[in-house]
């Protein structure tokens, strides 16, 4: 273990740099949190005008596999993380030869592959008590012939690179499955059985290099077209028993991985109250944005603490919160392609409104442009103000 791995970092020391692979909105929010603690932040990202470039102290504008840029990043930074799971695990491994990387390449690689992820959830089940949905790997037409009847209807998903509803198709029959697989053009896939879903939750946890672990309050999520629409915390439907089980499962999983950093695990809660592990994100997560305004320690500050081998922060939630994802659709009316600025003044006039825009250079339909978190004395008040914001922005509530 090298010196960078052994010692906690001093955020007030001149030239203490933290690095992040990826320059999207998560990298931008990480930069803000790390800088607040006194660190300087370097970003490695191919796009020169990425959201994080406006916040970072330094931008390495290069591909994620660029050997020279990776070398410079490792020399510059006392620790490096990633803001999205599809960065090359090999790049993270190369960085780890010369600096501390959290989470590790091995942990990220599990989340990059849906089959590896499911195998890992199964391996953890003895401790976590939670399994993934019934599923079957699809690598050929012959695999479709051997799909058990009780796996249909199901969801066919690409094993790699799918996110926000991309790379997945719902299928009811074997013929539909066959057509969907043909449309995937030979991609490695997995078929998951559709289950009687009551609602979806996500559990945000964090683990330090010293083994200290913390878990945030449970977030209840609503998705539209595969993209997160709202997050409500505390979740209005989850029972104390289910919440405790989900938090314990997340802590068991993060411990078994030997993970360092912030990890988000999404679970399905079925109509009978049972939990199913859906997927995990080895980074701060869209559903954890509420922590910026409603918790003592945000998920981004927590990531910086874990990277710097500092004590993890207090995860207490001081206010009920309801978060609304803002997509580029609200910049456009009907089928018009002419963009107009949403009525942010009216949104900000609502009690407890906290607006976060991501600095993206143009709005596009279905593109994540920002979020608004409403905090209030009660969750009902926060939800009501979220509904009012939807009305202002023209979003069906």
225 SS3 class:
coil
279 annotated to a ligand binding site = yes
257 annotated to a ligand binding site = no
Q: Which residues pair with 59 in a beta bridge?
A: 43
Q: Where are the alpha helices (DSSP H) in the chain?
A: 3-6, 25-36, 67-76, 89-96, 105-112, 114-128, 141-145, 174-183, 240-257, 290-294, 299-307, 344-348, 379-393
361 annotated to a ligand binding site = no
Question: What's 67's DSSP letter?
Answer: H
Parallel, antiparallel or unpaired: strands 40-45 and 17-21: parallel
Query: Which one, of 294, 276, 292, 274, lies nearest residue 284 by Cα?
Result: 292
Instruction: Look up residue 225 and give its two tokens.
Output: 């077209």
357 annotated to a ligand binding site = no
Query: Which one, of 41, 76, 80, lies nearest residue 64 by Cα?
Result: 80
114 annotated to a ligand binding site = yes
168 annotated to a ligand binding site = yes
165 annotated to a ligand binding site = yes
Count of CB atoms within 10 A of residue 199's CB? Answer: 17
Interatomic CA distance for residues 114 and 160, integer angstroms: 7
194 annotated to a ligand binding site = yes
Query: Which one, of 390, 373, 269, 255, lies nearest residue 322 by Cα?
Result: 373
Interatomic CA distance for residues 397 and 325, integer angstroms: 12
185 annotated to a ligand binding site = no
Q: Where are the alpha helices (DSSP H) in 198-298?
A: 240-257, 290-294
235 annotated to a ligand binding site = no
Q: Which residues pair with 372 in a beta bridge?
A: 324, 355
Strand order in the sheet with 154-158: 135-138, 189-193, 154-158, 168-171
Interatomic CA distance for residues 191 and 153, integer angstroms: 10
162 annotated to a ligand binding site = yes
Residue 353 has φ and ψ, to the nearest 5°, of: -80, 130
166 annotated to a ligand binding site = yes
119 annotated to a ligand binding site = no
Instruction: Look up residue 170 and give its two tokens.
Output: 């719902």
346 annotated to a ligand binding site = no
157 annotated to a ligand binding site = yes
- Residues belonging to the binding site for ATP are 114, 157, 162-168, 192-195, 200, 223, 278-279
- Residues belonging to the binding site are 114, 157, 162-168, 192-195, 200, 223, 278-279
């Amino acid at each position: 273990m090298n010196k960078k791995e052994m010692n906690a970092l001093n955020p007030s020391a001149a030239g203490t740099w933290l690095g992040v692979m990826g320059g999207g909105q998560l990298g931008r929010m990480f930069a803000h949190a790390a800088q607040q603690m006194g660190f300087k932040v370097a970003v490695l990202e191919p796009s020169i005008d990425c959201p994080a470039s406006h916040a970072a102290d330094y931008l390495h504008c290069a591909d994620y596999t660029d050997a020279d840029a990776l070398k410079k990043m490792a020399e510059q930074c006392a620790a490096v993380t990633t803001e999205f799971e599809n960065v090359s695990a090999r790049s993270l491994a190369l960085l780890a030869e010369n600096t501390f990387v959290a989470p590790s390449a091995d942990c990220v690689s599990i989340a990059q592959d849906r089959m590896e992820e499911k195998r890992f959830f199964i391996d953890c089940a003895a401790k976590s008590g939670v399994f993934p949905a019934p599923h079957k790997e699809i690598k050929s037409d012959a695999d479709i012939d051997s799909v058990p009847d009780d796996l249909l209807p199901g969801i066919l998903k690409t094993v790699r690179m799918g996110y926000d509803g991309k790379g997945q198709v719902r299928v009811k029959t074997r013929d539909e499955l066959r057509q969907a697989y043909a449309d995937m053009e030979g991609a490695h896939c997995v078929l998951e059985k559709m289950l009687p879903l009551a609602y979806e939750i996500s559990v945000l946890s964090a683990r330090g290099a010293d083994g200290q672990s913390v878990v945030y309050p449970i977030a209840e999520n609503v998705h539209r077209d595969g993209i997160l629409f709202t997050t409500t915390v505390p979740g209005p439907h989850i029972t104390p028993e289910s919440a405790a089980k989900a938090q314990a499962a997340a802590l068991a999983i993060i411990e078994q991985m030997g993970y360092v950093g912030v990890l988000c695990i999404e679970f399905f809660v079925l109509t009978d109250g049972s939990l199913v592990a859906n997927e995990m994100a080895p980074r701060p997560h869209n559903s954890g944005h509420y922590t910026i305004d409603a918790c003592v320690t945000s998920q981004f500050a927590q990531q910086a603490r874990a990277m710097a081998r500092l004590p993890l922060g207090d995860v207490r939630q001081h206010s009920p919160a309801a978060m609304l994802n803002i997509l580029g659709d609200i910049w456009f009316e009907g089928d018009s392609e002419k963009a107009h600025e949403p009525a942010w003044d009216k949104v900000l006039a609502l009690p407890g409104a906290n607006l976060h825009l991501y600095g993206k250079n143009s709005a596009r339909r279905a593109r994540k442009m920002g979020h608004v978190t409403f905090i209030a004395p009660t969750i009902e008040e926060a939800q009501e103000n979220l509904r009012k914001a939807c009305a202002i922005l023209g979003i069906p509530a």
